[in-house]
Amino acid sequence: MYNFPKYDLKGKVAIVTGAGQGLGKWIALGLADAGANILVVDIIPDSAEQTCREIKDLGRNSIFKAVDVADAEAVRDMVDYAEKSLGGLDILVNNAGVNVHKKAMDITPEEFSRVVNVNEKGVYFCSQAAARNMIPRGRGKIINIASSTAFLVRSGIPNSVYAMTKAGIVMLTKAFAEEWAQFHINVNAIAPGYFSTPLVADRLKDQETRRTIMEFTPLGRVGEPEDIMGTSVFLASSASDYITGQTICLDGGRTVL
């Protein structure tokens, strides 16, 4: 007899940061479609509450909490809120992130600190708070959102601070995975390439920019909601129980060139 893999998240509780739009919203909806109840975390109430409404339309429970993930105390409160309001925490998706598109010589200390605080400090202390909740339960799934910029440089696109933070997430994922494996907490990352999110909509409308992107994407297209939904559900489910410390490049093949 085989114990066939299950992708069902029925009864699970997930926190998804930065879930008001784009990748975070799609991930939250994908997890909800698979059965999970979702704490939607964002700093913009209107868009996050819309995500909650769409999750509820799928028949799942969803609540919203405004959190700046760079605030470690607020992050601890976030996990406590999930415990009290939704009954626990099984899955954390560290999606919240910021970027500054400036050349390295023009980056200010304030801009540097903001990107590092959200993209690295935020992931670190969200994971720490989640692990404190998961360790007594002896199980958990943490999914970090890295980026293809952790592995490659795109000519003409200044991205030094963002790329640095996302490369750090790849190694942080490995470090957490090793440390928390004894508690059956799986820690993995997804490194997206170009997706049709609101943040890159203007760039994709430019035909020359789109042509360049397609030229360096072997599969010849940008990512769609279903692409990141499928990978996220897989890493959140029991089907991925033997995977930890890994980063899946979800980029249409950009990082193989």
**pTM (2 d.p.):** 0.98
Query: Which residues in the chain come in under a pLDDT of 70?
Result: none
- Report the pLDDT value the prediction gives residue 201, as an integer from 0 to 100: 80
What is the reported pLDDT for 157?
A: 86
Domains with residue ranges and CATH for the chain: 13-250 (3.40.50.720)
Q: Provide the β-strand partners of residue 87.
A: none
Q: Rounded mean pLDDT of the chain? A: 96
pLDDT, tens digit (0-9, with 9 covering 90-100), for 16-52: 999 999 999 999 999 999 999 999 999 999 999 999 9
Residue 160: the pLDDT is 97
Catalytic residue numbers? 162
Q: How far is 89 from 15, CA to CA, in rounded Å?
A: 7
Tokens standing for residue 12: 């699970």
Residue that is written with structure tokens 């909509």 in the block: 201
User: 35-67 burial, b for 16+ CB within 10 Å, e for fewer?
Assistant: bbbbbbbbeeeebbbbbbebbeeeebbbbbbeb
